[in-house]
Chain A
C-alpha cells in the first residue's frame, strides 16, 4: 500500500493504482471522457488532468501511477482552467443539439459540461465537424459531428470484437473516426453488435430509434403483439435508473400494457422452442455423421460475422432460427389462427437487448409466415424511453403476468441471456432425451462465467459430448481458426457476439463488467425460482408440438423454424 495526499486528504491505495484510481478510493470525482474502466488507458481527452506538485505541467490522472508521498491537487484554479478550456475546445466542434439528441440526459459529455459550469461566452468560434449522418444500418446511427475522437469505439470494435470497422482517418484537426473511404456502415463488415454504442460517451453512436413505428402501428389499428427477450426483464429497470440486476418482469409487462401493447408474450417460451429444435438437430448430427462441431445460431451478430468472415463454415451452423425469429412466424400463423386475426393486421414486435436483431428481422428469408415474421425490434433502451415518455412510474408499478398461450418459459429459456446459457439449456434437455434419466443437478457450472473461452464435457450414456462456449467476436475468430486448422475437437459450440452474452448486448444501458456481474447473478438467481427449469418440460411447448408443429425437425418445424445463410465475404473485398 502507498500513501499520498489528494486535495489535502491523506489516502492509502494499493501499489499499481493510477491517480484516478486513488481519487476514486478517496471519493474524489475527476471527470473522464476517453477513460473507460473496461478498456486500456488512452489519455487523449486530457480532461482528467491534475496538478502533481513537483512536476511541470499537469498530469493525466488516468495514465499517471500513484506514488508514495505524492501531493495532488484535483481542483486548483489551474486545473479547472485546463478542464474548462478543453471542454470549450471540444464543444466548439460539437453541434448544440442536446435538446433533441438521443443521448440527452445520458451523455457523458453533457454531464461534464453541466458540472463545469461553462456559462461564460466561449473563446472559440463554432466549427462543427462536417459529417453526413449514417443511418444505413438498421441498428446503429453514426453522427460523427458529435464525435470527440476518444477512440473508445475503435477499441471495442478492434480489440474486443476484432472486426475493425472504424479507425482514425487523417490527422490533426481533421481527424475523424470513420470506416475507410467514407463507407457507410451497411457497406462494411459491421455485424451490428452495438458494442461501439455501448461505450460512446457522446451522441456520435446511437441505437437506431424505432419507437415511432409502435405509435404508427397503434394509430393504424394493428394488433400489436410483442415478445420480450429473457435479458430484458433483467435490464429494463437498470435502464430506468435502478440497480443493475434488478429483475422487474411483472412491472415490465404492466408498463407494456399501459403503453398499449395488445399482447405481451415471453420469448423465454421460444427459447425453449429453440432448445427443442436445436437439441434434436444436435442429436441428429451426432447420430448421422453431420457437420461437427455444430455452432449455435441464435445470435444475429455472430451469424453475420460468420457469413462475412467464414462463409465456408456455414454448414457448421445450426439451421435453427433464433428464438425471436421462431416466435415471429408462430405469432402470424398459429396465434393468428387461434385468435381469429388476419395475420396482415398483426404487427409483430420484439423487445430485445440486442441491436443486431434490428438487422435480423429485416433479413429477406425471415418471412416464413408469408408476412414479415417480426416487423420491428425495440431495444431495452428504446423501451425505457417509451416508458419515460409516457410518464409511467415504473418503480411503483404493480406486477402483471405475461399473456398466454406464450406466457410461460422455463428457467432454461431464461438463462439464454447469459454466456453459456444456451449451452446449459441445451444440455439439460439433450441429457434427459438421450439418457432417459432425470438430471439431478441442473447447474452446469463449467459453462458459466466471464471467461472468454470455456470448455466442458458431458457423459451421455457412454458418449462423451464435448462442448465449448465462446463470447466476444475476438474469441469467435479464434474458434474459426481452430476449426479451419482441424483442431476444434468439439461437438457443439455456443457463440455469442457480445462479451458476457445478450445481457451485455448493444441495446442495453451502457455496460461495465462490474454491472455485468450483477446482471448475470440476477439471471441465475431468477432462474432458480422458476417452477419449470427444463425446456422440454414446458407444458406450452408440449402443447404447440401436439397441436401444431408435430415434432422437432418435422416438416412444419422446418418450414417455420429453420433457415439458411448467405455468403457476405464480398464486404471484405471492396
Chain B
C-alpha cells in the first residue's frame, strides 16, 4: 500500500478530471456522478486524481477515497479494462456458478480480486446482479452474459480478447 505504488497521472488527464469535477463545487451530493464520469477517463483513482476531485469539489481527499472504497463497483486500486463481475448469489450458485467461475479462473489464470497481467481483465466478486432469469450470469463492465456454461463463458472471454487485439491493430 502507499501512494508511491501509483504511477504519475498525465497532466492533461488531471485537467480533464478537474473539468469534470469543477461544475459541482460545494455540491457533495454530486460525488457519485463525478466519480462515475471520472472513472471513464482515468485508469485508476490514484491519489493525484482524488486530490483533484477533492480540490475542485471543495471536499477532502479522505472523503473522496472513503466514498470510493465503500462501493463494490468502484476501485481505489488498479483495475483491468474489463471488470468481470461474477455473481455469487444463491440463484446463480444453484445453477452452476461455481463451475463457470472455475472455468474463468482457469482460462484467465487469475482468482477473484486479481487482474490479468496484460491489464485486460479484473475478476471481481458480485452479489446478485439481477439477471437471475438467465442464471448463471456474469457482468463484464455494463453488459450481462447469462445462461453460461464453462464452455460458453470461455467463448465470451475470447470475444473480448479478439476485440482487443483487432482494436490494437487498427
Contacts and interface: CB of A to CB of B under 8 A. Distances in A.
- Do any beta carbons of A and B sit within 8 angstroms of each other in the complex? yes
Interface of A: 158, 163-171, 179-183, 187, 572-574
A573 B47 CA distance: 8
Contacts, number: 55
B1 A158 contact: no
B76 interface: yes
Interface of B: 1-3, 6, 47-48, 50-51, 55, 60-66, 69-70, 76
A158 B63 CA distance: 10
Contacts of B55: 572-573
Contacts of A163: 60
B62 A179 contact: yes
B167 to A, nearest CB: 32
Given A168-B70, A169-B69, A181 B63 contact: no
Contacts of A170: 69-70
Contact of B50 (A164, A171, A180): A180
A187 B66 contact: no
B66 A167 contact: yes
A180 B2 contact: no
A574 B51 contact: yes
Contacts of B3: 181, 183, 187, 574
Nearest to B5: A181
B66 to A, nearest CB: 4
27 contacts: A158-B62, A158-B63, A163-B60, A164-B63, A165-B62, A166-B62, A167-B62, A167-B63, A170-B69, A170-B70, A171-B70, A180-B50, A180-B62, A181-B1, A181-B3, A181-B6, A181-B47, A182-B1, A182-B2, A183-B2, A183-B3, A183-B47, A572-B51, A573-B55, A574-B3, A574-B47, A574-B51
A180 B48 contact: no
**Residue from B1, B6, B61, B70 having most chain A Cβ neighbours under 10 A:** B61
A410 B47 CA distance: 49
A574 B65 CA distance: 12
A171 B70 CA distance: 5
A158 B66 contact: no
Given A180-B62, A181-B6, A181-B47, 13 more contacts: A158-B63, A163-B60, A166-B62, A167-B63, A167-B66, A168-B66, A169-B65, A169-B66, A181-B3, A181-B76, A182-B1, A183-B47, A572-B51
Contacts of B65: 167, 169, 180-181
Contacts of A168: 66, 70
A180 B70 contact: no
Nearest to B50: A180
A183 B50 CA distance: 14
Nearest to A182: B1
B1 A180 contact: no
Contact of A158 (B2, B60, B61): B60
A181 B77 CA distance: 9
Nearest to B65: A180
Nearest to B64: A180
Contacts of A166: 62
